[in-house]
Structure 1
Amino acid sequence: MTTQPLSRARIVAAAIDLIEREGADAVSMRRIAAELGVGVMSLYNHVPNKDALLNGVAESVLSEIEFTDDPDAHWTDRVRMQARAFRQIAHHYPRSTMLVVSRQLHSNAGLLPVERALATLRSAGFDPLDAVRVLRMFIAFIVGSLLREVGVTPSFAPPHQHMVDPDAVDPALFPEVSDLAPLLAACDHDAEFDFGVELLIQAIKALPKREGSR
């Protein structure tokens, strides 16, 4: 059996696999070396340190985002496509995606999604400040949705934990919660995400175009 040679790609892939199993806190150069069955010093020939390794993880995840952007489509449709593309990769790598949004990336892979989103918003006529604010708002919404949906760390609710246990609510004290308990106890994550995206788009459409817009 031929042993696959050590490479940066193999090291990054091992880190992603470990992160998805145990979380980013489990990553160390020594642990990755053990996962690959190599000496820890051999890793440094390909990755200079842990920080560079984590950047590599984030860049690798981002590079797999499949943008099906259509420059001729209305900007609202382009925003929908971009938001869903990011969510799709988050489904594949939920814990690694949280690493993506926690790091500042200056590589092509890290900047491409930002460039596409800003270009879409600027072409729609939003001024520079509003374009940046809208981008940050969408990132916050997508990350919040991901946290709720997949429960990426023990600090957050498990992915299938309901907000309310209908049988545990006192209707005399909490009439509204009791009345809506069946809705609070169920969550269609696809529908919830689409609802949030549409709500944001409608709010963004109402933003006034200011001087300095294209």
Structure 2
Amino acid sequence: MEAITMRRVAQELGVEAMSLYHHVPNKDAILDGVVDAVFAAIALPDARCDDWRDAIRVRASSARTVLSQHSWALGLMDSRRNPGPATLRHHDAVLGVLREAGFTLPMAAHAVSLVDSYIGGFVLQEANLPVTTPGDVEEVAGSILEQLPAAELPYLTEMIVDHALQPGYDHTSEFGYGLDLILDALEARR
């Protein structure tokens, strides 16, 4: 984000930097707008939904998709002091689902923080993993396994051999599994 300057934005738009100031007061306003555009792309849950878990699951999946396409936004989204209308609507909608489902205000706040931290962490992990396809998993895991002192690291060896290298293993399915664990725990405390 340091690379974003009024001069560079103006250059990309083919205008003079000073002309930008007729539309936005400063770089922070541009960053606020960018964050708002990212939030606008994430599906809004409906507080009048029949199943809060499904609503949060759909929203989490949408957020994962959007943030995977814009992983640069992860560090920026929570740093803004002037949230835009889409950002505010988004947070209100998520809180609305939880409050209408019977969560106390503190539990709803905890739930939003927990789910959003999970989404952000998973997207960050996915963006940095050296694998994107099941074939990549076999190649990377196989390479690790060749170098692994199995006697010294029996549990890691077991996980690679009996889990990651099994037919049908797909790391991306871990997102739904982890999210369901979180939703189960939240349901128990609702």
TM-score range, shorter chain: 0.7 to 0.9
Q: Indicate conservation of the 8 Å contact 1:59/1:105, yes or no.
A: no
Q: Is the 8 A contact 1:64 1:89 kept in 2?
A: yes
1:62 counterpart = 2:44: no
User: Which range is displaced more, 43-52 or 187-196?
Assistant: 187-196
Match of 2:127 among 150, 159, 163: 150
Q: Distance in 1 between matches of 2:3 and 2:146?
A: 38
Structure 2 residues without counterparts, runs of 5 or longer? none
TM-score (norm 1): 0.74
Matches of 2:150 and 2:82, distance apart in 1? 50
**Structure 1 unaligned runs (5+)?**
1-23, 152-156, 210-214
Give the total of aligned pairs: 180
| Kept in 2: contact 1:65–1:89 (CA 8 A) | yes
Please identify, of 76-85 and 48-57, the stretch whose mean Cα deviation from structure 2 is larger.
Answer: 76-85
| Matched AA of 2:158 | D
Q: Show structure 1 runs of 4+ deviating over 6 A.
A: none
TM-score scaled by length of structure 2: 0.82
Question: Equivalent residue for 2:184?
Answer: 202
Paired with 1:48 and 1:66, the residues of 2 have a C-alpha distance of 29
Matched, 1:86 2:86: no
Q: Give % identity.
A: 32
Contact 1:98 1:143 in 2 (8 A): no
Task: Give RMSD over aligned pairs.
Answer: 2.5
Closer/same/farther in 2, CA of residues 76 and 150 from structure 1, 3 Å limit: same
Q: Which has the higher helix share?
A: 2
Counterparts of 2:82 and 2:126, CA distance in 1: 25
Change (3 A) 1:141 1:174: same
Offset, 1:201? 0.7
